[in-house]
Amino acid sequence: MKAKIILFILALVLISSVSVCAEDLFGSASDNMPIDIVYFYGDGCPHCADFEKWLDEAKGKYNINAVGFEVYFNETNQQLAVGMAEKYGESFKGVPMIIIGNEIIFGFSEMMIPDIESKIQKECIDKCCDSPLATIKQCQIQEDAKSKLTFASVIALAFADSINPCELAVLAMALIALLAHDPTKKKKVLLGGFAFTLAVFITYIIYGLIIIQSFKFIGSYFEAARIYVRFIFAFLAIFIGFMNIKDAIKYKPGSFMTEMPMFMRPMAKGLIKNITRPMGAFIIGVFVTVFLMPCTMGPYFVVGNLLSVFDFVKIIPWLIFYNVIFVLPMILVTLLVYFGFSTVDNVIGWKEKHVKTLHLIAGVVLAVLGILMILGWV
């Protein structure tokens, strides 16, 4: 019996010795597990470069698997950074953004190294920390960004933009100029109206690309400001909406951000009255868009901000779609005059009669859309 007890004790001692030796030789399970670190950086960011330098040194000390995402020049990574920050209960505040376990760290300096290494030791080596790589779902984050931009929101913005009274007023002036030159040639009115509309359509697409590229620049170099920019334009939509509603209640020609300013109207008329041929209508139409900008650019800036998260190839169809809706009233008015269903005077009269209604509809649409943007539904 004593022999069996002695053998049992020896067996326990042997097993314990083997376990200790194995741990010393191969390390504990947590020692062998790679420590996943996800970080977001920008090319040219000095603090990011300092972090990567430390990271190279730390890899010789710890079993680190680091995965970096460049955000200055990569739109997908920009969306990913914002999405990852939200998953950890933060807003994206700039680069470097470092994720270790369940903690997110913004910025980097030598003073932060002891805290970072302490976290690695206590949370990821002594214990076990989750890998942030498991939370990265790029496809889902891209889909979430796209879902913010729906056909409904683009149609609403384009519709609010298209019923702006100053757009119809400018077209009416162009058609009057063509008719005054030769009232008998209605075909010239048709071609001239279409040429004028085409000029507005093409020029506004170019304006749209410039606006979107500006937002891309802001997003690339001031990523932390992207969220605030979105709120700024949400409030802009609400502001323009209320300005339109104000015009519906108490109309005043040339109101700020809702109609062409009064001081611009004589210049626009002087330019448009020189239209005598379709080619001239196209050329002058390009220049006239400058006068349309103060009263039509509000919704365009809002949609430009929404489109700025997309790649260039995907932006073009959206811009075409928006501007087709934008110029649709101009096409309809041209056809009505050409086929004799209406006259230019009737169009002007209808516009003057319903100007308050047009402002009310545009105002309600823009105000509601701005509120939905703040709530994150658009």
Position 376 scores a pLDDT of 62
Query: Tokens representing 314?
Result: 């995907």
Position 23 scores a pLDDT of 44
Distance from C-alpha of 61 to C-alpha of 99, rounded to nearest angstrom: 19
At the fourth CATH level, the homologous superfamily of domain 33-141 is Glutaredoxin (3.40.30.10)
Q: Where are the alpha helices (DSSP H) in the chain?
A: 2-26, 29-32, 46-58, 75-87, 113-119, 138-147, 151-162, 165-181, 186-221, 226-249, 265-272, 278-307, 312-338, 344-353, 355-375
Q: Write out the DSSP string of 62-81.
A: S-EEEEEEE-SS-HHHHHHH
Report which residue type is found at 128. Answer: C
Distance from C-alpha of 77 to C-alpha of 341, rounded to nearest angstrom: 54
User: Could you tell me where in the chain the CATH 3.40.30.10 domains are found?
Assistant: 33-141
For the whole model, what pTM was predicted? 0.61
Position 258 scores a pLDDT of 82
Residue by residue, pLDDT tens for the chain (378 residues) are 555 555 445 455 444 554 444 444 444 444 567 888 999 998 888 999 999 999 999 888 888 888 899 887 776 788 788 888 888 888 888 889 999 888 899 999 999 999 998 888 888 888 888 888 877 765 555 555 555 556 778 888 888 888 878 777 888 888 888 777 766 677 888 888 899 899 999 999 999 999 888 888 776 666 555 556 777 878 888 898 899 899 999 988 888 778 888 888 888 888 888 887 888 889 888 888 887 877 777 888 888 887 887 778 888 999 999 999 999 998 998 898 888 888 878 878 888 888 889 889 888 888 888 887 777 666
Distance from C-alpha of 133 to C-alpha of 18, rounded to nearest angstrom: 35
Query: Tokens representing 161?
Result: 């933009």
Cα 95–chain centre separation: 19
Position 220 scores a pLDDT of 63
